[in-house]
Amino acid sequence: MDCIFCKIVKGEIPSRKLFENDRVLAFYDIQPAAPAHALVIPKKHIASMNEAEEEDRELLGELLLTAKKVAGELGIAESGYRLINNVGPDSGQIVFHIHIHVLGGEKLGGLNVKS
């Protein structure tokens, strides 16, 4: 598998980590669409929400709770932030490993976030 996020999880590609445990990883986006922009990913490869299974229920919840934690780490929890999960090519998903964008740091309008 040639998944860039799996390579980040394995340490084959460096990232600026914000949070990590045995199931999820959060790191700064290298092409930020807002002053504060991080990605939260599961360490387990799941291509998109369409491939998530019932057995992934707890992991998906952990992704959302980690996104909340990351917003706090980025200093945007109080002012507000946006969570984005693109699903499929028409949504703008270009990295097929489920991930949540955490964006903030300014008043957000209509952002076009791809990955």
Which residue shows structure tokens 């599961």? 42
Helices of type H across the chain: 4-10, 57-74
Cβ atoms of 102 and 33 closer than 8 Å: no
Task: Judge whether 99 counts as a catalytic residue.
Answer: yes
Task: Indicate which residue of 37, 97, 99, 101 is catalytic.
Answer: 99
Residues 6+ apart with CB under 8 A from 15: 8, 25, 27, 28
Q: Which pair of tokens denotes residue 16?
A: 């600026």
Helices of type H across 48-92: 57-74
Tell me which residues are annotated as active site: 99
